[in-house]
C-alpha cells in the first residue's frame, strides 16, 4: 500500500550519506545530558552543539544519524497536516569541510535520484538578506540550486525570520539556511508565483532543512563577523518525507502513525458509538500518546515542573479529551504497546523499559482521573448560577485542585460562561513572585545560574584535570560580579571566577562540587561552589586576601579530604544500585541521586516500601562489595561497547562515540562522569539510614559511609545502651521490659484543666471528677484552697489536675498528680515544662507543684501541648 516505507527511507538516507563519506554516529537520548538550557533534544544538531563552536572535536568531519526529537514548541500546531510533538530527524553535518555547493548537491541528488521525487515537486527557500542587520542575501545558494537543476521559479527568497538560523544564545555561530519544500498539489491551495506569497502551511510542506550554513559569528554588539570555520547542519523529518513520498494527506496516514490512529479510532467508536469525536482530536491523541511513550521510555517522570511537566501535560490533555467525549475506559496500554513495537526495532530501550512505561503511565492516569472527578464536582459547585468564572476561582481550581486551565476554559465554553483571564493571569503572576521569594537561586555573589547560561558563550571551554589531579595551575579568563564581567575582584568580595583549566569538579550527575582554595602571590581565595554550563566551569569564590585579576596565573587546590568522602559516597551509590538490582530485580531504575561529602541519596522507581529484612540484605551486599575491595577502572569506550560489556545505561547519553565507563571489578559497570574512590575497600563501611517515599512510585534510600557511618552506628548503640541502663535490663531484654511497661501505660492519663475563683472553690461547686469547668479571670490559682482542691480532684480522677488563673497578664498554675501515678509521672517535672511556655518559675514535689509566669500569651500553646509533658 505504501510506495516507500519509513524503514526504506531510513536506509536510503543513511546509506547515501555513508557512501558520501559521512560517519554514522549514534543518536542521543531525547533528554539532554548536561544541558540545562534545553528542555528536550529538538533537532539532530542539538546534541552536537559543541562541535559547531569548536569546543569539542567531532569524531569525523562529516557525520550523519537519525535523531528522535521532541518539539513542545509545536504543540499548538498538533492536529494539522505535518506537525508532530515528536519526530525523527534525518541529519547530516559537515564541520570545517564541505559547504554550500556540496550540501545542496547532496540534497538535490538524494531527493531526485535516491527518493525519486520529480524536481517539479520541489521548491527551495533561500535567505533574502537583511538591510537592517547588514546581512547579504544568499545569492550563492540561489546559483547552486539552479546549477543542480532547480528552476529559478522554484527558488523562493525568504526573510530573516524564516531563513536565518541562530545563534542559540546572544552570541555565537549562525548563518543563512535553505529549506526544501514539497508541493502537495493544487487541492491544497494556490500555486506559488514568483514574488507572491509562498504558503508553507498547507500546500507547500517543508521536508528538509537542507542546509544551515554556519558562516557568521554574532558578536555582543549585535554585529556579525565571518566565522573561523564554517559548518553545515541539515535535518529532514522522517515522518514528513514518508507522508510526501507516498502522496498522503497528513503525517497521520504514514506507516508508523496510521496503526496508532486506527487503534484509537476503533476504541473510541466502541466506547461511545454516538460520539462525534473529530478527526483532529484523534490525531492529537495519537501524537500525544506517541510522544509520551518516547519520553517515558527515555526515563522522564511526570511532575509539575521542568521536563516532567511535558509528559504530565500531554497525558492530562489526552485524559481531558477522552473525558469530554465520555470514553472513560479507554485502553491506553494497547496504544503504548503499539508505539513500543514500532520503536523497539530501532531503539532497544523501548523494550527494556516497557514495564516502566506502562507503570508510570498508569499511575499518572489514575491520579489524574481522580483530579478530574474531584475538580469537575468543584467547578460545578463554584459556577452554580454564575455567568463568569472569576480569575480567583480559576486560580484555585488550577493550583489547589490541579485542573488544567484548558479544562476550565472548555467547561466555560460548553456552559456559555466567560473566564476573567486578566484576573487569573494576575493571580498566577502574584503567586510566582511569592514562590520566588522562597526559592532564591542566587548565590552570595549576586549571580544567578540563569545569567551564567547567557554568559557561557563568552568563554572558552574549561579543561578539567580533576579526574587525575587535585591541584593544578590555571589562568583566570573571566571574573563575574553581580552578573557583570569585571576585570578584578577585591578582598572580602564574592565573585565567580572562570579559568582555562580546573581541577575542581563542577556539580553534575548528582555529585556536588568540590571546594578548596586558589592563590596567586598574596591573593588567596576560597572556592565554595562550582557550576558548569556548556563545559565552562564557574567557580564561586570568596576573596580572602589581595586581588583576583583577569589573566592571573592561579594555583588551585581541591579540599582533598572532602573529595575522598564524596568519592566514597559516589562509588557506594554504584554499589547500592547493583545491590538493589540483585535483591529487587533488574527493573530497578535510577530516578535521581545526590552525592555529598556527608551522605548519599539514591532514588529509584519502585512501587512499594522495602521491608526491613530486604533493606538489611541490600546493605549487607553493599558491604560485601566493599570488603571484596574492587579496584576502580575507568575507560573511555564506545557506547555500543559499554552496553555490550554490561554497563548500566538507559540510553546513549552522548552523541560522540566515546562514553566514560566506571567499573568496580565485575560487580558494577556504569556510564558515569563523576569521580570515584580508587578501590571499594576505601569506602570502609556503608550504612543505610533511611528508606522512604520520594514521590509517587519512587523510593529514596539515604546512606552514610566511612567515619559518618561509624559515628551513626555508635550513636544508635549508645542510645540503646542508655535505654538499657535506664530500664535496668540487659539490651536483649529491653523489648520484653517495654512490653510490661506498655500494658501499664495502656490507659491514658486523665487530665483536668480548670480556671477557677476563690469564691467558687469556697462554694465547692465542683462536681466530681470530670466536667470541671470554671471560667474567670480572677487571680486565684495559688491559694491553699485551690491546692487542697487540686490534690483532692487528682485523687478522685486518678490523674493530673492543672488549675490555672489569669490576671494582669500573669498566669498562676497549680498542678496536682494522683499519688500512685506520681511515682511515674512527676508534677515537678511537668510544671517546669509548662512554665517554659509562660516564661515562669516554680516547682514542687512529685504530686504537687505550683508556679507563675509573666507570659499569658503562651497559655494556649501550653494547654495544647500539656499532654506531652509527661
The annotated binding site is made up of 570, 574, 672, 676
Nearer to ligand ATP, 83 or 501 (CB): 83
* Subset of 235-274 contacting ligand ATP (CB under 6 A): 235-237, 239-240
Given candidates 95, 208, 625, 803, which one binds ligand ATP under the rule CB under 6 A? 208
Lookup result for grid cell 500512685 = 820
Sign of CA dihedral 605, 607, 610, 614: negative
Going residue by residue from 778 to 807, which x/- string records binding to ligand ATP, judged by CB under 6 A? ------------------------------
| Minimum CB distance to ligand ATP, residue 410 (Å) | 24
| Minimum CB distance to ligand ATP, residue 91 (Å) | 9
Nearer to ligand ATP, 56 or 74 (CB): 74
Rounded distance between C-alpha atoms, residue 691 and residue 530, angstroms = 30
Q: Which residues pair with 602 in a beta bridge?
A: 593, 701
| Minimum CB distance to ligand ATP, residue 287 (Å) | 9
| Minimum CB distance to ligand ATP, residue 47 (Å) | 15
Nearer to ligand ATP, 126 or 780 (CB): 126
* Subset of 413-472 contacting ligand ATP (CB under 6 A): none
| Binding-site sequence positions for Zn(2+) | 570, 574, 672, 676
| Minimum CB distance to ligand ATP, residue 187 (Å) | 20
| # residues contacting ligand ATP (CB under 6 A) | 16
CA 210 and chain centroid, separation: 34
Given candidates 8, 74, 199, 359, which one binds ligand ATP under the rule CB under 6 A? 74
Rounded distance between C-alpha atoms, residue 31 and residue 307, angstroms = 8
Nearer to ligand ATP, 130 or 275 (CB): 130
Rounded distance between C-alpha atoms, residue 85 and residue 13, angstroms = 22
| Minimum CB distance to ligand ATP, residue 390 (Å) | 36
Nearer to ligand ATP, 77 or 788 (CB): 77
No. of helices (H) and no. of strands (E), the chain: 25, 34
Give first-to-last CA distance, the chain, whole Å.
82
| Minimum CB distance to ligand ATP, residue 87 (Å) | 4
Nearer to ligand ATP, 9 or 554 (CB): 9
Candidate ranges 218-226, 229-237, 659-667, 740-748; the one touching ligand ATP (CB under 6 A): 229-237
Give me 516's grid cell.
578548596
Q: Does 207 bind ligand ATP (CB under 6 A)?
A: yes
Q: Which residues pair with 69 in a beta bridge?
A: 87
Nearer to ligand ATP, 67 or 757 (CB): 67
| Minimum CB distance to ligand ATP, residue 116 (Å) | 18
Q: Are 475 and 529 in contact (CB under 8 A)?
A: no
| Minimum CB distance to ligand ATP, residue 248 (Å) | 14
The SS3 of residue 414 is: helix
| Minimum CB distance to ligand ATP, residue 233 (Å) | 9
Residue 773's CB: how many other CB atoms inside 10 A?
Answer: 12
Rounded distance between C-alpha atoms, residue 800 and residue 816, angstroms = 6
* Phi, psi (rounded to 5 degrees) for 273: -60, -25
* Subset of 20-49 contacting ligand ATP (CB under 6 A): 43
Q: Are 248 and 2 in contact (CB under 8 A)?
A: no
Q: Does 209 bind ligand ATP (CB under 6 A)?
A: yes
Note if the bond before 167 is cis, omega within 30 degrees: yes
Give me 525's grid cell.
581565595
Q: Which residue blocks in 54-123 are alpha helix, DSSP H?
A: 100-109
Q: Does 233 bind ligand ATP (CB under 6 A)?
A: no
| Exposed e or buried b per residue across 296-323, where buried means at least 16 C-beta atoms within 10 angstroms of its C-beta | bbbbbbbeeeebeebbbbbbbbbbbbbb
| Minimum CB distance to ligand ATP, residue 22 (Å) | 17
CA dihedral 850, 856, 860, 865 (to 10 degrees): -40
Nearer to ligand ATP, 68 or 129 (CB): 68
Candidate ranges 205-213, 562-570, 715-723, 749-757; the one touching ligand ATP (CB under 6 A): 205-213
* Subset of 593-622 contacting ligand ATP (CB under 6 A): none
Nearer to ligand ATP, 93 or 685 (CB): 93
Q: Which of 506, 510, 527 is nearest to 461 (CA)?
A: 506
| Minimum CB distance to ligand ATP, residue 396 (Å) | 35
| Minimum CB distance to ligand ATP, residue 251 (Å) | 7
Which residues neighbour 3 within 8 Å (Cβ) at sequence distance 6 or greater?
Answer: 245, 246, 247
Angle between helix axes 238-245 and 6-19 (nearest 10 degrees) is 110
The beta-strand segments (E) located in 726-808 are 751-755, 800-807
Long-range contacts of 394-401 (CB under 8 A, 24+ apart): 394/419, 394/420, 394/423, 394/424, 394/427, 395/424, 395/427, 395/428, 395/431, 398/428, 399/431, 401/371, 401/374, 401/375
Candidate ranges 207-215, 421-429, 657-665, 764-772; the one touching ligand ATP (CB under 6 A): 207-215
Nearer to ligand ATP, 83 or 349 (CB): 83
Given candidates 84, 245, 277, 285, which one binds ligand ATP under the rule CB under 6 A? 84
* Subset of 635-694 contacting ligand ATP (CB under 6 A): none
Nearer to ligand ATP, 175 or 237 (CB): 237
Given candidates 52, 87, 664, 866, which one binds ligand ATP under the rule CB under 6 A? 87
Q: Does 143 bind ligand ATP (CB under 6 A)?
A: no
The residue with its CB nearest to ligand ATP is: 237
Candidate ranges 80-88, 518-526, 623-631, 660-668; the one touching ligand ATP (CB under 6 A): 80-88
* Subset of 354-383 contacting ligand ATP (CB under 6 A): none
Diameter over CA atoms, the chain: 116
Given candidates 83, 317, 532, 669, which one binds ligand ATP under the rule CB under 6 A? 83
Q: Does 206 bind ligand ATP (CB under 6 A)?
A: yes
Given candidates 22, 49, 71, 349, which one binds ligand ATP under the rule CB under 6 A? 71
Nearer to ligand ATP, 92 or 760 (CB): 92
Candidate ranges 19-27, 202-210, 369-377, 685-693; the one touching ligand ATP (CB under 6 A): 202-210
Which residues neighbour 393 within 8 Å (Cβ) at sequence distance 6 or greater?
Answer: 382
Nearer to ligand ATP, 235 or 311 (CB): 235
Nearer to ligand ATP, 83 or 578 (CB): 83
Angle between helix axes 354-383 and 405-414 (nearest 10 degrees) is 50
Candidate ranges 130-138, 200-208, 336-344, 656-664; the one touching ligand ATP (CB under 6 A): 200-208
Candidate ranges 231-239, 499-507, 700-708, 749-757; the one touching ligand ATP (CB under 6 A): 231-239
Nearer to ligand ATP, 233 or 653 (CB): 233
The DSSP symbol for 461 reads: P
Long-range contacts of 408-417 (CB under 8 A, 24+ apart): 408/379, 410/320, 410/324, 411/376, 411/379, 411/383, 415/383, 416/387, 417/383, 417/386, 417/387, 417/388, 417/389
Rounded distance between C-alpha atoms, residue 412 and residue 390, angstroms = 11
Give me 77's grid cell.
500546531
* Subset of 314-343 contacting ligand ATP (CB under 6 A): none
- Residues near ligand ATP (CB under 6 A): 43, 71, 74, 83-84, 87, 89, 206-209, 235-237, 239-240
Amino acid at each position: 500500500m505504501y510506495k516507500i516505507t519509513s524503514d526504506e527511507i531510513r536506509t536510503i538516507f543513511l546509506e547515501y550519506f555513508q557512501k558520501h563519506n559521512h560517519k554514522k554516529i549514534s543518536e542521543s537520548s531525547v533528554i539532554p545530558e548536561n544541558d540545562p538550557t534545553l528542555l528536550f533534544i529538538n533537532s539532530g544538531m542539538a546534541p552536537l552543539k559543541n562541535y559547531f563552536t569548536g569546543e569539542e572535536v567531532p569524531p569525523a568531519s562529516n557525520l550523519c544519524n537519525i535523531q528522535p526529537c521532541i518539539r513542545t514548541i509545536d504543540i499548538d500546531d498538533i492536529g494539522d497536516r505535518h506537525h508532530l510533538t515528536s519526530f525523527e530527524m534525518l541529519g547530516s553535518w559537515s564541520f570545517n569541510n564541505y559547504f554550500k555547493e556540496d550540501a545542496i548537491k547532496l540534497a538535490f541528488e538524494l531527493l531526485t535520484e535516491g527518493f525519486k521525487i520529480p524536481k517539479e515537486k520541489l521548491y527551495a527557500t533561500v535567505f533574502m538578506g537583511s538591510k537592517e542587520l547588514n546581512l547579504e542575501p544568499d545569492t550563492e545558494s540561489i546559483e547552486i540550486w539552479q546549477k543542480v537543476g532547480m528552476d529559478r521559479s522554484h527558488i523562493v527568497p525568504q526573510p530573516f525570520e524564516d531563513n536565518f538560523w541562530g545563534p542559540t544564545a546572544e552570541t555565537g555561530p549562525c548563518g543563512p539556511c535553505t529549506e526544501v519544500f514539497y508541493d502537495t498539489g493544487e487541492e491544497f491551495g494556490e500555486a506559488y508565483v514568483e514574488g507572491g506569497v509562498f504558503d508553507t502551511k498547507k500546500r507547500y510542506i517543508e521536508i528538509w532543512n537542507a542546509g544551515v550554513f554556519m558562516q557568521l559569528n554574532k558578536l555582543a554588539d549585535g554585529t556579525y563577523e565571518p566565522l573561523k570555520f564554517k559548518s553545515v547542519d541539515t535535518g529532514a523529518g522522517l515522518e514528513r518525507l514518508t507522508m510526501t513520498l507516498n502522496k498522503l494527506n497528513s503525517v497521520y496516514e504514514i506507516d508508523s502513525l496510521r496503526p496508532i490512529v486506527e487503534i484509537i479510532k476503533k476504541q473510541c467508536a466502541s466506547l461511545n458509538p454516538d460520539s462525534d469525536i473529530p478527526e483532529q482530536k484523534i490525531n492529537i491523541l495519537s501524537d500525544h500518546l506517541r510522544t509520551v511513550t518516547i519520553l517515558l521510555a527515555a526515563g522522564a517522570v511526570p511532575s509539575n515542573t521542568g521536563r516532567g511537566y511535558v509528559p504530565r501535560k500531554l497525558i492530562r490533555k489526552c485524559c481531558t479529551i477522552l473525558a469530554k467525549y465520555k470514553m472513560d475506559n479507554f485502553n491506553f496500554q494497547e496504544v503504548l504497546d503499539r508505539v513500543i513495537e514500532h520503536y523497539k526495532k530501532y531503539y532497544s530501550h523501548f523494550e527494556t523499559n516497557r514495564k516502566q512505561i506502562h507503570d508510570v503511565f498508569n499511575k499518572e492516569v489514575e491520579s489524574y482521573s481522580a483530579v478530574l472527578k474531584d475538580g469537575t464536582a468543584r467547578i460545578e459547585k463554584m459556577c452554580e448560577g454564575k455567568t463568569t468564572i472569576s480569575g480567583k476561582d480559576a486560580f484555585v481550581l488550577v493550583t489547589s485542585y490541579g485542573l488544567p486551565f484548558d479544562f476550565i476554559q472548555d467547561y466555560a465554553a460548553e456552559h456559555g460562561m466567560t473566564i476573567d483571564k486578566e484576573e487569573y493571569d494576575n493571580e498566577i503572576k502574584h503567586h510566582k513572585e511569592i514562590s520566588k521569594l522562597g526559592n532564591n537561586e542566587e548565590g552570595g555573589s549576586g549571580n544567578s545560574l540563569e545569567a551564567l547560561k547567557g554568559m557561557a558563550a563568552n568563554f572558552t571551554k574549561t579543561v578539567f584535570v580533576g579526574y587525575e589531579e587535585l591541584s593544578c595551575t590555571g589562568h583566570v579568563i573571566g571574573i563575574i560580579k553581580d552578573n557583570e564581567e569585571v576585570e578584578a575582584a577585591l578582598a572580602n568580595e564574592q565573585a565567580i571566577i572562570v579559568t582555562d583549566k580546573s581541577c575542581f569538579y563542577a556539580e553534575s550527575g548528582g555529585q556536588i562540587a568540590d571546594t578548596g582554595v586558589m592563590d596567586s602571590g598574596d591573593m588567596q581565595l576560597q572556592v565554595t561552589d562550582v557550576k558548569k554550563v556548556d563545559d565552562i566551569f564557574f567557580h564561586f569564590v570568596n576573596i580572602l586576601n589581595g586581588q583576583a585579576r583577569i589573566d592571573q596565573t592561579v594555583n588551585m587546590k581541591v579540599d582533598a579530604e572532602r573529595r575522598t568522602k564524596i568519592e566514597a559516597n559516589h562509588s557506594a551509590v554504584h554499589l547500592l544500585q547493583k545491590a538493589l538490582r540483585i535483591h529487587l530485580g533488574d527493573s530497578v531504575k535510577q530516578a535521581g541521586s545526590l552525592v555529598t561529602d556527608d551522605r548519599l541519596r539514591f532514588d529509584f522507581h519502585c512501587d512499594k516500601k522495602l521491608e526491613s529484612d530486604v533493606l538489611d540484605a541490600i546493605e549487607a551486599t553493599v558491604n560485601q562489595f566493599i570488603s571484596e575491595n574492587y579496584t576502580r577502572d575507568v575507560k573511555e569506550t564506545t557506547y555500543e561497547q559499554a552496553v555490550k560489556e554490561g554497563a548500566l545505561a538507559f540510553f546513549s547519553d552522548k552523541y560522540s562515540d566515546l562514553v566514560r565507563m566506571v567499573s568496580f571489578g565485575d560487580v558494577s559497570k556504569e556510564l558515569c562522569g563523576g569521580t570515584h574512590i580508587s578501590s571499594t575497600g576505601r569506602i570502609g563501611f556503608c550504612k543505610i539510614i533511611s528508606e522512604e517515599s520520594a514521590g509517587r512510585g519512587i523510593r529514596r534510600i539515604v546512606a552514610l559511609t566511612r567515619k559518618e557511618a561509624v559515628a551513626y552506628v555508635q550513636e544508635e548503640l549508645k542510645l540503646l545502651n542508655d535505654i538499657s541502663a535506664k530500664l535496668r535490663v540487659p539490651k536483649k531484654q529491653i523489648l520484653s521490659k517495654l512490653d510490661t511497661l506498655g500494658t501499664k501505660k495502656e490507659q491514658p492519663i486523665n487530665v483536668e484543666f480548670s480556671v477557677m475563683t476563690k469564691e467558687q472553690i469556697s462554694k465547692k461547686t465542683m462536681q466530681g471528677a470530670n466536667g470541671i469547668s470554671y471560667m474567670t479571670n480572677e487571680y486565684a490559682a495559688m491559694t491553699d484552697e485551690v491546692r487542697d482542691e487540686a490534690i483532692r480532684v487528682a485523687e478522685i480522677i486518678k490523674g493530673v489536675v492543672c488549675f490555672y488563673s489569669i490576671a494582669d497578664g500573669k498566669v498562676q498554675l497549680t498542678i496536682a498528680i494522683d499519688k500512685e501515678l506520681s511515682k511515674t509521672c512527676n508534677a515537678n517535672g511537668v510544671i517546669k515544662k509548662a512554665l517554659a511556655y509562660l516564661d515562669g518559675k516554680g516547682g514542687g514535689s512529685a504530686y504537687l507543684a505550683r508556679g507563675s509566669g509573666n507570659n499569658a500569651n503562651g497559655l494556649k500553646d501550653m494547654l495544647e501541648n500539656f499532654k506531652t509533658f509527661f
